[in-house]
A and B are shown apart, each in its own frame.
Chain A
Amino acid sequence: MRKNALIFIIVVALFSAALYFITQNKYLERATEKSGELIFGARVEIDAMHFSLFDLQCGWDRLQIANKDKPMTNLIETGEANFKLEFTPLFWRKVIITEMRIENVQSGTARQSSGSLPRNKAAKAKKSGVFAKTQNALKEEMHALPALEFAELTRKLNIDSLIQIDKLQSVAGYSLLAQEVDSSSEFFSAKLKNQNYTERINALKKKIDALNIDKNMDILKIQKTLADLGAITKEVDKLQNDIQADKSSAQGSFKSVTEKYDNLKKQVQADISKAKNLARLKELDTRDVGLLLFGAPLIEKIENLLHYLNLARRYFPAAAILLESEKEPEPERFAGQDIYFPFHHKFPDFLIRKILLTGSTGKENSNAYNVSGKIFGLTNQPAVFGEPTKAELEIQKSAGNGYKIRSVLDHVSEIAKDSVWIDAQDFRLGSVKLKENKNLPTELVAEKGDLNFTGFLRDEQMNLNLKVHAEPVQFKYAQSDDNRISKTIREVLDGVRVVEISAQLKTENDDRVLKLSSNIDNVLSQRLKNILDKNVTKARQDVENRVQQEVAANREKADAALAGFKSKVDEEMAVLENRIKAETDKLAAKKKELEVKLAEETGKVQSAAEKEKKKLENEAKKKLDGLFNKNKKDDKKPENDG
């Protein structure tokens, strides 16, 4: 055994340990801050981080995580935190925290310096699709409510301020159609001009007129004239074909715009319905009453809740981001291959078995909440851990209201299943701001109430239910009751002492449907319906008339343009066709005349030939007869001699 070497090794080990002991806290602090910045996309600051290697205790005095969207406020600020790491899992590089105590957890606290990171450092985090879709659906739901300005309905409706008439499809369509017809008409004119039909007909006319038919024409001249006539006929045929093609093209354009015109007629009714919707003129539905009265504050609360659920889903796999980012790139050559074997221990890469937290949502605010509770099983690998993350929180408002919140975030399987239960009994509701409206109450004051909320989310499907019971209640108004509607509303609401609201936000066929009902709905809707529906019907008629009026004005332009186009096509084509017909007739007459002439001349030539033939035949006959008689005389002569 080499004693010197042993001493050397011990000295080196001690020196390394001392160096680590001196620098570990700062090193760990910076490493944790950097990891946090990667997850949250904003500055993370830790004060006085400490770590003890001997008992694996870790903690900090203060932690600030800046809000990425509001850099001068903190998303989360905590006071002192302490936690202990489990020893055994570290052999497999698994970080398991048995119990974490976090004190004074706050949200929305002000920062002294900006918490934004340089652009390239900021992590890309987007709102989960399910929450963004839900928020949009809620907005649409509120927008689809009937016009709240009931008083306006009793006066003349200013439709132009409610809807942009000229944006309606039929109104804009007629205007566009008129332009299209004008454009087609101009195109047609330009085409006719380019084809030089008049010049071409004039040239043909000259050629046809130049065809002289004399009385003394011989057969050869006639045949030459006929050949010229054939060439002219071909030209005439080509001209006729060109004119016919242009006529067909113009008729095609006319047919197309006529079809569009017919479609626009059908569109008018659809536009009238659309205009009515845009003006939010629909009959008052019982379910609308609840939304009109309590929709705005309720949707605000749901949106807040969705915001926190979104945060939970967004940052839930935070440790996964962290661990992924810390993976070093593998060397390319001869790195070998890691072979993984079944791992029998249920150690995820990162797990906090239990978090005990206390805190508040902001000290400065009088509406601040004190929060205390426990979170179990926060991990980046729920499937490995095999258990969902559970949270039990108690929120105590400084005014005295208390809420119990329980949630189960089950990401053990591929489909995330999240559940939230919120319960509050006998809480003081106080003053709740309602939607600003001339006729409706703007404030609800309730002394005590019970609240029960359940929310179930399965992947992108959700079913949120809220029940509120408040009594005694009092409605307050911003303006005096100067019309029949506001008087009726006040009559009904003044008699109400208990408000019971039941709301449900549910996914149905990929749509988010908000249903809200209250104990006031029926009685108020019945009383208002009689007054409002008459006005709504009248207003709807006004909208229809206004749309029809605007449509008519634009349709007249389209009608005029269409008629102009049609008459232009018909007239110009008729002129051309008449002229070409005249020339064709002239040409046909000349052809006939020439053919007669040709027949006459041919007959003359044939009869002359016949005469000549007969003459020659006679002459030949005579000659043959003469020759025959001479031979007879010669035969008789020797007999006489003999």
Chain B
Amino acid sequence: MFWLKFIAKFLKALRAGDTPGQVSAGFSLGFAIGLMPFFTLHGLFFWLLLLLFNVNLAAGFVGIMLTSLIAWFFDPLFHDLGFLLLVQIPALQGLWESLYNLPIAPLTKFYNTVVLGSLVSALLFLYPIYIAMKKFIVYYRNTLEPRIQKWKIVQLIKGSSLYKWIDKLQRIGEI
């Protein structure tokens, strides 16, 4: 129910409410959190960004949920990327060694191939995801949403007494 509520809120945010920038920023932060192993120091940093900044939380949670479902599939790729960065590029060895000897950096477990691979992937895709999501929301609001509203199935659902009853309950809940 918790996740369903966020999905409903996310669908609502797609239509109206928060700006496309807020929704897409929330979604891209959620994407980054979902992509990385759960309990890491930099993961906590992304969580703080998501919770403290005025981005759409529902979009963030949906981003986490969707990305977590598929992240395990990419773990071998993250491992390869992490191994490439940590071992196979000699120019970076000095950087990693310095980080390894810094007080806080080792707590991020950056020296783990999957952790580093997923972090770098998240950072690389963060902005493209943000831009893509923003464009999608604008397109959805201007073009897609009016068409969907005209679909007979949608009108049938919206005309049903069950939908009206749920909608009423939701309004009471929001009050």
> B117: which A residues are within 8 A, CB to CB?
336
Tell me how far the C-beta of A331 lies from the nearest C-beta in chain B, rounded to whole angstroms.
10
- Chain A residue with minimal CB distance to B47? A9
- Contact code string B63-103 (vs A, CB < 8 Å = 1, else 0): 00000000010011011001100110000010011001101
Q: Assess the B100–A341 pair: CB atoms within 8 A.
A: yes
Q: For A345, list chain B residues within 8 Å (CB).
A: 101
Which residue of B is nearest A335, CB measured?
Answer: B114
Q: A341 near B75 (CB under 8 angstroms)?
A: no
With contacts A9-B48, A91-B107, A339-B86 known, is A1 near B114, CB below 8 A? no
Asked if residues B78 and A336 are in contact (CB atoms below 8 Å), the reply is yes
> Are A338 and B97 in contact, CB atoms less than 8 angstroms apart?
no
Contact yes or no, B51 A336, CB < 8 A: no
Mark interface residues in A322-360 (1 if CB within 8 Å of B CB, else 0).
Answer: 000000000001111111111111000000000000000
A5 cross-chain contacts in B, Cβ below 8 A: 51-52
Give, as a whole number of angstroms, the nearest-CB distance from B48 to chain A. 7
**With A6-B52, A336-B113 given, is the CB distance from A341 to B97 under 8 Å?**
yes
B104 at interface (Cβ–Cβ under 8 A)? Answer: yes
Contact B79 A337 (CB under 8 A): yes
Which of the residues A92, A334, A342, A344 comes within 8 Å of B106, measured between beta carbons? A92
Q: From known contacts A91-B106, A334-B72, A336-B78, infer whether A9 and B52 are also in contact, taking CB-CB under 8 Å.
A: yes
Docked Cα-Cα span, A336 to B110, in Å, equals 11
Contact between A91 and B104 (Cβ–Cβ < 8 Å)? Answer: yes
Contact with B53, one of A2, A92, A335, A337 (Cβ below 8 angstroms): A2
Report A63 CB to chain B, min CB distance, Å. Answer: 31
Cα distance, A335 to B117, chains bound together (Å): 12
Q: Is A88 an interface residue (CB 8 A)?
A: yes
Do A88 and B112 contact each other (CB < 8 Å), given the known contacts A334-B72, A339-B87? no
A8 at the interface (CB under 8 A from B): yes
The verdict on A338 contacting B52 (CB below 8 Å), with A88-B103, A92-B106, A345-B101 known, is no
**Docked-complex contact B79 and A338, CB < 8 angstroms:** no
B54 contacts chain A at the CB level, 8 A cutoff:
yes
Looking at the assembled complex, report how far the CB atom of A334 sits from the nearest CB atom of chain B, in whole angstroms.
4
Q: Does B35 contact A (CB under 8 A)?
A: no
The residue in chain B whose Cβ has the minimal distance to the Cβ of A3 is: B52
Which residues from B are CB-within-8-Å of A9? 48, 51-52
Contacts A9-B48, A91-B107, A92-B106 given; indicate if A337 touches B83 (C-beta within 8 A): yes
Partner pick for A334 among B76, B96, B109, CB 8 A cutoff = B76
Q: How far is the CB of B117 from chain A (nearest CB, A)?
A: 8
Q: Does B115 sit within 8 A of A, measured CB to CB?
A: yes
Bound-state CA distance A341–B90 (Å) is 13
Partner of A343, one of B51, B76, B101, B113: B101
B23 vs chain A, min Cβ distance (A)? 15
Residue from B53, B82, B93, B101 in contact with A336 in the complex, judged by beta carbons closer than 8 Å: B82
A189→B113 CA distance, assembly (Å):
84
Residues of chain B within 8 A (CB-CB) of A342 are 97, 100
Residues of A contacting B72 in the complex (Cβ-Cβ under 8 angstroms): 334
Verify B54–A336 contact, CB threshold 8 A: no
**CB-nearest residue of chain A to B100:** A341
Inter-chain contact total with CB atoms closer than 8 Å = 66
Asked if B111 is an interface residue, CB under 8 A from chain A, the answer is yes
Task: Please name all residues of chain A whose beta carbon is closer than 8 Å to the beta carbon of B54 when the two chains form the complex.
Answer: 1-2
- In the assembled complex, the CB of A589 is this many whole angstroms from the nearest CB of chain B, namely 103
Choose from A334, A340, A341 the contact partner of B79 (Cβ within 8 Å).
A334
- Write out the residue numbers on chain A whose beta carbons fall within 8 Å of the beta carbon of B109: 338
Report the minimal beta-carbon distance from A17 to chain B, rounded to whole angstroms: 16
Enumerate chain A residues within 8 angstroms of B115, measured Cβ to Cβ.
336
Question: How far apart are the CA atoms of A342 and B100 in the complex, in Å?
Answer: 8
A contact residues around B96 at 8 Å (CB): 339, 341
Residues of chain A contacted by B87 (CB below 8 angstroms): 339
Kindly report which residue of chain B lies nearest to residue A336, judged by CB atoms. B114
Question: A6-B52, A91-B107 given as contacts; is B101 within 8 A of A337 (CB)?
Answer: no
Could you tell me which residues of chain A, from 64 to 88, have a CB within 8 Å of some CB in chain B?
88
A337 touches B113 (CB 8 A): yes
Q: Once bound together, how far apart are the Cα atoms of A39 and B36, in whole Å?
A: 37
CA distance A2 to B117 in the complex (A): 31
A531 to B117, CA, bound (A): 90
* C-alpha spacing A11/B111, complex, angstroms: 33
When distances are taken between beta carbons in the complex, the residues of chain B under 8 Å from A1 are 52-54
Bound complex: CA A335 to CA B113 (Å)? 9
B82 surroundings in chain A (CB, below 8 A): 336-337
- Choose from B75, B76, B101, B111 the contact partner of A338 (Cβ within 8 Å): B111
Question: What's the least CB distance linking A443 to chain B, in Å?
Answer: 65
Chain A residues contacting B52 (CB-CB under 8 Å) are: 1-2, 5-6, 9
A:1-51 near B, CB below 8 Å = 1-2, 5-6, 8-9
Name the CB-closest residue of B to A8. Answer: B51
| A6, A91, A338: the one within 8 Å of B103 (CB) | A91
Given A88-B103, A334-B79: A339 in contact with B111 (beta carbons within 8 A): yes
CB neighbours (8 Å) of B100 from chain A are 340-343
Question: How far is A550 from B32 in the complex, measured between Cα atoms in Å?
Answer: 95
Could you tell me if B113 and A339 are in contact, using CB atoms closer than 8 angstroms? yes
Provide the residues of chain A in CB contact with B112, threshold 8 Å: 336-339
| A6: chain B residues within 8 A (beta carbon) | 52
User: 1/0 per position for B133-166, CB-CB distance to A under 8 A?
Assistant: 0000000000000000000000000000000000
14 A/B residue pairs, CB under 8 Å, sorted by A: A2-B51, A2-B53, A5-B51, A8-B51, A91-B104, A92-B103, A334-B75, A334-B79, A336-B82, A338-B112, A339-B86, A341-B93, A341-B96, A342-B100
Which 8 pairs, one residue from A and one from B, show the smallest C-beta to C-beta distance?
A336-B114, A334-B75, A91-B103, A341-B100, A336-B113, A5-B51, A339-B86, A336-B112
Binding site for B on A (CB under 8 A): 1-2, 5-6, 8-9, 88, 91-92, 333-345
| Besides A2-B53, A336-B79, 7 other A-B contacts (C-beta < 8 A) | A2-B54, A88-B103, A92-B106, A335-B114, A336-B112, A336-B117, A341-B97
